[in-house]
Structure 1
């Protein structure tokens, strides 16, 4: 009769199980949280910058209207209206 694998292989089966759990926990700890900003969020951030610029322009126009120095360019208004209605 031939006997192979003699030795203390089955003495502490819980040790192998604990080693597997420890390695799984180590891998879980290595994985860090990752934050990715979607394209929609980036667009919203860009929009807020545009809104700030627009708000500054609105404030500038409001001051001009209050001072009476605001002048309308009728040719620009007509061109904008024409462009708007020819596109739609």
Structure 2
């Protein structure tokens, strides 16, 4: 008798018997179900600050794509200076 470990998973007689009984009884396979509460839906929408931030980011992306956004080099340098000299 040759033992092949790779095919042994598919030869489960108990699983086949259960599947056969379920088909005969007309029972469909159980499926997972997801229910989201109203509080969770509200959390997904985000707070007012998060929504405003998303709108600002969207507006900046549109300016960058259109080539209208200009970087103020002095303001960037000042921020770096403040950060490194704290």
Structure with larger Rg: 1
Q: TM-score, normalised by structure 2?
A: 0.43
User: Hey, which of these two has a bigger chunk of helix by percent?
Assistant: 1
Q: TM-score, normalised by structure 1?
A: 0.42
